[in-house]
Amino acid sequence: MTSGPTERPQMPVEDFEELARRAPETVTLEFINGRLKVKPGRDGDHGTIIMWLLRQCMQQRPELALYPGQGLLVERSRQGRAKPDGALTPLGYLAGHRDGADPAGVLMTVEVTSFDSDTDTGTDRLDRKEKGVGYAQAGIPVFLLIDRSSDNLTVHNEPEHGTYQRNVSHKYGDTVPLPAPVNITLNTEKLKDFAH
CATH number at residue 138: 3.90.1570.10
In a domain, 130, yes or no: yes
In a domain, 137, yes or no: yes
In a domain, 15, yes or no: no
Q: Give the mean pLDDT of 11-34.
A: 75
The pLDDT value given to residue 2 = 42
**163 exposed, middle or buried (CB, 10 Å; 0-12, 13-18, 19+)?**
middle
In a domain, 31, yes or no: no
Q: Give the mean pLDDT of 134-158.
A: 95
Q: List, in sequence order, every residue forming a beta bridge with 80; answer none if it has no partner.
A: 74
In a domain, 8, yes or no: no
For all residues of the chain together, what is the average pLDDT? Answer: 84
Strands 64-67 and 86-90 turn out to be antiparallel
Total structural domains in the chain?
A: 1
The pLDDT value given to residue 122 = 45
Q: What is the DSSP track for the chain? A: --SS-SS--SS-HHHHHHHHHHS-TT-EEEEETTEEEEEPPP-HHHHHHHHHHHHHHHHH-TTEEEETT--EEESTTS-EEE--SEEEEETTTTTT--SSB-GGG--EEEEEPPP-S-TTTSHHHIIIIIHHHHHHHTT-SEEEEEETTTTEEEEEEEEETTEEEEEEEEETTSEEEETTTT-EEEE-GGGGGG--
Choose the weakest-confidence range: 51-65, 118-132, 144-158. Answer: 118-132
Instruction: Note down the domain range covering 160.
Output: 41-194
In a domain, 22, yes or no: no
Distance in angstroms (rounded) separating the CA atoms of residues 133 and 87: 16
In a domain, 182, yes or no: yes
Q: List, in sequence order, every residue forming a beta bridge with 40; answer none if it has no partner.
A: none
In a domain, 9, yes or no: no
Q: What percent of the chain has pLDDT over 70?
A: 84
The pLDDT value given to residue 114 = 78
Check whether 6 has a pLDDT greater than 60. Answer: no
